[in-house]
Structure 1
Amino acid sequence: MRWEDKADLPQVTIRATIVGLIIGSMVLTSNFQFGLQTGWASMMSLPSALLGFTIFKFLPISKKFTDVENVYIQSVAVATGTGPLAYGLIGIIPAIENFLMPEETGLGRALKFSFWELVIWSLGLAFFGVFIAIPLRKQVIVKEKLPFPSGTATGILISVLHGNEPNNQNAEVDNGLQLAEEGSDNVENTVSHSEIQRIDGVESEDESTDESPLIGKSKEFHSNIKPLTVTFIISSFYTLVAYYAPILRNIPIFGATGKKYLWTFQPSPAYIGQGIIMGLPTVSYMLFGSVLGWGILSPMAKILGWAPGDIDDWKTGSQGWIMWISLSIMISDSIVAFFVVGAKSLKSLVAREDDYEADLNSFLELKDVDEKHLISKNATWCGLFASSLLCSICLKMIFGTLVPLYAIITGIILALSFSVLAVRALGETDLNPVSGIGKLSQLIFALIIPSRNPAKILINLIAGGIAEAGAQQAGDLMQDLKTGHLLGASPKAQFVAQMIGTIYSVFFSSLMYLFYKHVYNIPNEIFRIPTAVIWIDCARLVTGEGLPDKVPGFAIFFGFIFGCISLAKNLTPATSKYHSYLVYLPSGVAVGIGIYNTPNFTLARFIGGVISFFYLKKYPVNRVSLIILSSGLVLGEGLFSVVTMILASLGL
């Protein structure tokens, strides 16, 4: 079937919606499990597409199942699964409930959220990012053909599974990935050109038809589903065993002294899988952070009396002390990278527009679906206004006069501006700088909100949450739209998928958050909610709260060092003879993560990174297969965490 006719095929179907919500629920559970533990969350678009194909392949509902319906499934799954991050349920809400002091709320008492308050909060943050992405689609995907490597890889995987060639977009894929390789400041997360050539270069032996779309790529399917299934079973088995043998979560590999300073090992298959996905450079930076924070700074702060409390105490212990160093490093790296990538993106936009005017014929024909499959401009702007109004109403319903209306409106305006840059950065580098966006918003609001306002820290957290939600949702939808554009899917159908997944996720995310909190009494030794600590500490830092003894000097020193490193990594062009050496300079965000997570989380990820390095060295074109394999490790432990939660709630 021609690419131009694909959008007319049925996509928004009841069967696809149900399957997408089921897969999205699995991803959401996994993201809660690891988000509350380590702050790590993922779109999981590749495994979602593969699982969707698998379900239809083995069930009698597979008749006339097409690649564009598969796109719709993974769009629903991604919209559902990323809810915990988009709504701040692994960071901002736990920070407000667990770490915000009564005098910092403006009420003189702690804040706790009911189920319906969480739903209202999530509804307020859920939609404006979606409407931000819609008007950007034509510019960044159709005209500029930005690569969006994860979206491209997902689209080509779907086309291979269905036995199709991904329309006549080969030049677009090649040119887009060329840009990604030249402009990426996050090389370990960028899909390489050779990977796409491998997937795209598979010859189709059987023509796909409407009646039998699952014929033609059985070999490719089995080569992907088998490792996913095996690793899922292994990870699930570990989760059940570790529940009854907690020693597996903290093996004292360095003896009693190591255990005292929290140097233990957790052989979690999911953490190993995450390390495989991250790659050796990133996990090496994290290990460097662990050694710096937990091997040098933490013992030093304890021995010298700068942090006299217990090691694992956030307030008086060395864990809380080194957290400020981590925060300084991440803020410095994120803000420098954000401004540099934003400036480069705007510069490239202007350059491309000049090129269009100079010689339109030098570009590929702009190919897009029929207007009837696009969201109209009127609907887009009305939706953006309505979602912004909904955000204002929802936040006022929860916080009342504590949060002034001008602060909410300012937060939405900042979210709109930052989301544009975030989408462009994601398109060029496969990196959505939501962390830097959130911290930058917190810094701006520290200047806007009067220091005498008793709720200034609460307002600061909410403002950061608004900005981060907008950038996260806009980026996720744009990756999906890239996938759909490669296959000829209807953007309107993907918008429907996003809305359905989002509405479902609002309720399911709120329920799962309360479930985790009730069963495990979070925070605890397993669920340390480190992202929440980062949010609250950043809010206190930018609003002028005092720092622990000796922290300011160390924070300034390391912040300056990693700010310079970030500048060097982002300004050095790919054509420079020094570019290949940049991998030896540690990324500030990764180092910061290594500091604020205890070593047992980092060590397993480092093992995963080593596995990834040697596997790709032997099989350099199999990265997509490796991601699918590692996704099974993550999903197995994440999904079976629900089983262990039920066992815990029953007292078994």
Structure 2
Amino acid sequence: MTTMNHAPPADPAVPTENAPAKDPEQQWLETIYRKGEKQLTVRAIIAGMLIGGVMCLSNLYVFFKTGWSLGVTLTACILAFAVFELFRAMRLTKSEFTILENNAMGSVASAAGYMTGGGNMAAFGALLMVTTMRPDPLWMMLWFGAIAALGVFAAIPIKRQLINREALAFPTGTATAETLRSMHDAAHAGAPGAEKAVGGGKDKARLLGLAGLVGALLTFLRDAKAAWMPFNIPGAIPLPFAIAGRAAKDWTITLKSELVLVGAGALMSFRTGWSLLLSGLGCYVILAPRLFEEHAIKEVSYKAIVGWTLWPGAAILVASGLTSFVLDYKSVARSFRGLSGLFSRGASAEKREPIAEVECPEWWFPAGFAVLAPVVITLMAFLFKIPLWAGIVAVPLAVIMGFVAARVTGETDVTPTKALGPVTQAVYGVITPGNLTGNIMSANVTGGIGLHAADLLTDLKSGWLLGASPRQQLKGQLFGVIAGALVVVPAFWLIIPDPTVLGSEEWPAPSCLVWAGVSQAFAGGLGGLPPGALRAIGVGFALGLVLALAERFAPKKLLPYIPSPAGIGIALVIPASNAIAMFIGSLIAHVLRKVKPAMAERLTVPVSSGFIAGESLMGIVIALLVVMGLLDK
């Protein structure tokens, strides 16, 4: 019989008022960790690989239409839960598909479904657009799989710092944990021992379901196009004012009807939310008009603006992330010291912390790096003619970028591959000028490692809140990497048999166009930077450094008033409308916490999770209906 979940436990790494200081890891072991419960079962692995593979197909289609990949983990967990509940009702299975099985399944599915992200398809599409290369599909499967697996191992040395100690939000991970609790508690509310879960769990499940229906309905009415549709809700509401003689919408300043952005904002800290708004408005209200006036950008469009602002934005993210990483140097040093565990495990076992028996062994990171790095470097030389010395530089740099991406994701729920990829392209434009292929695919290494490190940490946040085994989740991610690598390459050629259609009206592939443009600009070195961008990079780097230091050393009472470097940097590489929507979500949650704290605890996470899950699910349904010809393109 499965042990039922009690009332949703608070994150032990987040201090509570009037509570005595206690080691969060020890508290987690004593009160939350579910020792001995089944997690990464055979059926969880199979379900995760199948669902993740299907979602990889959907994401591939949507990516080349829009440039975005849809959410994976929440959607996969909801689908798996529904399928196994149906199996039980039909008596095809006797045992319950437990909450920890579902959580482990989500780790498998997310790794597979996100194989389209992290620059993988952006780089591959750009490669096919601007070169005559047509790499063998089997080699490309190995390429994508090796990069993703290296990203999985890169998450190990920073997991305890970001999740156990700092308690970074990882909004999607938090939403996934709450979604799983609500579904499983509500479904089994009548089971023995579930009395404590009935009230809160059932109520939150109802709220999540209603919010999910609202998100799904809004998405359908907005995005489903067909002759029989009576109307469509606009994707954005223009604001009635002008900036520098141009409508606000030309500067991306609108109110979006995307509840997923509001939901993600509600799961962020208010500090990150107001930082997004401050930077977003500063970028598009002040900086962008000035750039256009001084002819630093040639037109008023998101693509033109972000082609300039991504440089200071990326510099802020990199500088703040690297500074925080340097200040947390002990976590990496500990992982390399863990290599001694390979040879003296018995001698050191008695001295190990209790949490070490549960966490991924520290030596797994350097061991994984030692195995996978030579594979990636060899493939860089063999497939893309990147010099060995340049590959040796690329992989450690990509791992460091993975640490940066993970921290930013923890704060904002946005993995900054669109900013960090071009940084790598700039570096390779300098050290290997003229190598167009190498320029694109070296950035693919950075993006892929960063995404999969952040993805695993997002899943590990769910596991931390639910009491799951980090080791089981990491193994699940590796199964997902295998499934995604096997699906994504043949699926690409199935959907895009002729790469010349990329960039066309039918297959716009905006991310591929951006990667191709940046690689062509940097093939000749830093001379390809837009006017003034080099100085902006220096300013951004200094700002990121100062903000990161202030974040660490300023008095705690001043911290809410210090801009978040992640929020400031991210806002420079997303439309202003996204920053506005996320700020609105964070503001609503902040006011609710101040005015009605009990109501905030009851509403914020389940409603936000419902918005995210509903919109993600309906986005996939609409994409599939378009493929089937039941909706217009």
Q: Render the CA deviation track for 1:608-637: whole Å, top value 9, x for unaligned.
A: 566656666654323321331221343144
Structure-2 change in CA distance of 1:54 and 1:460 (3 Å): same
Work out whether residues 234 and 636 of structure 1, in 8 Å CA contact, stay in contact via their aligned partners in 2: no
Question: How many residues are matched?
Answer: 570
Q: Which residue of 2 aligns with 1:207?
A: 193
SS at match of 2:600: coil
The letter of the residue matching 1:592 is L
Asked if residue 476 in structure 1 is aligned to residue 455 in structure 2, the reply is: yes
Structure-2 change in CA distance of 1:154 and 1:295 (3 Å): closer
Aligned match of 1:398 in 380, 383, 386? Answer: 383
Work out whether residues 271 and 560 of structure 2, in 8 Å CA contact, stay in contact via their aligned partners in 1: no
CA distance in 1, matches of 2:418, 2:226: 32
Greater alpha carbon shift after TM alignment, 55-64 vs 215-224: 215-224
Q: Render the CA deviation track for 1:15-64: whole Å, top value 9, x for unaligned.
A: 32344345535764675577667766576545544554444345414623
Structure-2 change in CA distance of 1:534 and 1:335 (3 Å): farther
CA distance in 2, matches of 1:526, 1:278: 34
SS at match of 1:341: helix
Q: Which residue of 2 aligns with 1:147?
A: 167
Q: Render the CA deviation track for 1:168-214: whole Å, top value 9, x for unaligned.
A: xxxxxxxxxxxxxxxxxxxxxxxxxxxxxxxxxxx9995269xxx99
Shift of 1:440: 5.0
TM-score in terms of structure 1 length: 0.68
Q: Which residue of 2 aligns with 1:467?
A: 446
Q: Render the CA deviation track for 1:535-581: whole Å, top value 9, x for unaligned.
A: 85378359535458xx523x356445544443343222452554332
Instruction: Give identity over the alignment, percent.
Output: 21
Work out whether residues 251 and 285 of structure 2, in 8 Å CA contact, stay in contact via their aligned partners in 1: no
Asked if residue 328 in structure 1 is aligned to residue 311 in structure 2, the reply is: yes
Shift of 1:639: 0.5
Work out whether residues 214 and 611 of structure 2, in 8 Å CA contact, stay in contact via their aligned partners in 1: no
Asked if residue 504 in structure 1 is aligned to residue 487 in structure 2, the reply is: no
Q: Render the CA deviation track for 1:215-265: whole Å, top value 9, x for unaligned.
A: 994444333333224422332343214897789457776699639947685
Work out whether residues 128 and 387 of structure 1, in 8 Å CA contact, stay in contact via their aligned partners in 2: yes
Work out whether residues 409 and 415 of structure 2, in 8 Å CA contact, stay in contact via their aligned partners in 1: yes
Work out whether residues 169 and 267 of structure 2, in 8 Å CA contact, stay in contact via their aligned partners in 1: no
Structure-2 change in CA distance of 1:274 and 1:458 (3 Å): farther
Shift of 1:647: 5.4
Asked if residue 638 in structure 1 is aligned to residue 619 in structure 2, the reply is: yes
The letter of the residue matching 2:569 is V
Q: Which residue of 1 aligns with 2:547?
A: 569
What value does the CA root-mean-square deviation take over the aligned residues? 5.3
CA distance in 2, matches of 1:584, 1:13: 40
CA distance in 1, matches of 2:474, 2:465: 16
Q: Render the CA deviation track for 1:94-130: whole Å, top value 9, x for unaligned.
A: 44344x4xxxxxxxx5556686665354234232223
CA distance in 2, matches of 1:407, 1:352: 25
CA distance in 2, matches of 1:88, 1:123: 10
Greater alpha carbon shift after TM alignment, 603-612 vs 71-80: 603-612
Aligned match of 1:236 in 213, 216, 220? Answer: 220
Asked if residue 64 in structure 1 is aligned to residue 96 in structure 2, the reply is: yes
Structure-2 change in CA distance of 1:374 and 1:263 (3 Å): closer
Structure-2 change in CA distance of 1:431 and 1:162 (3 Å): same
Q: Which residue of 2 aligns with 1:222?
A: 206
Q: Which residue of 1 aligns with 2:151?
A: 129
Unaligned stretches of 5+ residues in structure 1: 101-108, 165-202, 313-318, 354-362
Shift of 1:341: 1.0
Q: Which residue of 2 aligns with 1:623?
A: 604
Q: Which residue of 1 aligns with 2:327?
A: 344
Instruction: Report matched runs for 1:392-471 at 5 Å.
Output: 392-396=377-381, 398-399=383-384, 402-419=385-402, 438=421, 441-449=424-432, 451=433, 454-455=434-435, 457-471=436-450
SS at match of 2:456: helix
Q: Render the CA deviation track for 1:586-623: whole Å, top value 9, x for unaligned.
A: 944233224xx4x6666666665666566666543233
Work out whether residues 272 and 412 of structure 2, in 8 Å CA contact, stay in contact via their aligned partners in 1: no
Q: Which residue of 2 aligns with 1:533?
A: 514
Q: Which residue of 2 aligns with 1:544?
A: 525
CA distance in 2, matches of 1:290, 1:146: 26
Shift of 1:404: 2.3
CA distance in 2, matches of 1:160, 1:557: 50
Q: Which residue of 1 aligns with 2:44?
A: 16
Q: Which residue of 2 aligns with 1:83?
A: 115
Shift of 1:525: 9.8
Q: Render the CA deviation track for 1:312-353: whole Å, top value 9, x for unaligned.
A: 5xxxxxx66533421222122122212211122126888999
